[in-house]
């Protein structure tokens, strides 16, 4: 007799003053694929433009991380009009030395402080929910905007490391308060 086993998992929805942080949905694919095909966005995230199919695979992998680790990336949705704005959350591929507080926005949302707002919400949730002693942000040295976000969040540069063929600055986040 076959027994039916199911695996369920929950991705919380977080809210900030201007954003909703939520799970990926299939309906996000067009906006996500457009963001992942944008050279200015991909410049500091591997510089390889992603096709729609590759963007879909990243969505699948991002959702899978929630099952495997209990945390992952959130879609950022503009609270005022529900437009797709980017992502923030905890990225933790197998080869990463520790969980990474990651964030990226679609260009229409740059320069408004939304990356800091989203990353702070994801950071605070992850520290409270998972009890991490620390998290990192791995940032390419010439990515001044992401470095500013890390600094605004109180992260401290700890050094450099090599990840997937790139030299990145290793910024460390610790629980606030």
pLDDT of residue 86: 95
DSSP string, 83-94: -EEEEEEEE--T
The rounded distance, in Å, linking the Cα atoms of 92 and 175 is 18
pLDDT of residue 47: 61
Contact 42, 48 (CB under 8 A): yes
pTM: 0.91
Q: Where are the beta strands (DSSP E) in the chain?
A: 14-15, 19-22, 73-78, 84-91, 100-105, 135-139, 156-163, 166-173
Q: Could you read off the pLDDT of 62-72 as tens digits, one per residue? A: 999 999 999 99
Q: Could you read off the pLDDT of 34-77 as tens digits, one per residue? A: 988 988 877 767 667 788 899 899 899 999 999 999 999 999 99
pLDDT of residue 42: 74
Q: Which residues in the chain come in under a pLDDT of 70?
A: 1-2, 44, 46-47
Question: Which structural domains are found in the chain, ordered by start?
Answer: 14-173 (3.40.630.30)
């Amino acid at each position: 007799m076959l027994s039916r086993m199911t695996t369920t998992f929950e991705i919380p929805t977080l809210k900030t003053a201007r954003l909703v942080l939520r799970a990926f949905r299939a309906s996000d694919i067009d906006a996500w694929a457009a963001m992942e095909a944008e050279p200015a966005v991909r410049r500091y995230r591997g510089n390889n433009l992603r096709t729609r199919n590759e963007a879909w695979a990243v969505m699948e992998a991002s959702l899978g991380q929630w099952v495997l680790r209990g945390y992952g990336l959130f879609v950022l949705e503009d609270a005022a009009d529900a437009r797709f704005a980017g992502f923030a959350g905890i990225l933790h591929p197998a080869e990463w030395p520790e969980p990474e507080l990651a964030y990226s926005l679609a260009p229409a949302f740059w320069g408004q402080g939304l990356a800091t707002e989203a990353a702070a919400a994801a950071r605070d949730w992850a520290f409270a929910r998972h009890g991490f002693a620390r998290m990192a942000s791995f940032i390419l040295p010439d990515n001044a905007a992401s470095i500013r976000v890390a600094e605004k969040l109180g992260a401290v540069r700890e050094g450099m490391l090599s990840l997937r063929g790139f030299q990145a600055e290793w910024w460390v986040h610790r629980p606030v308060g």
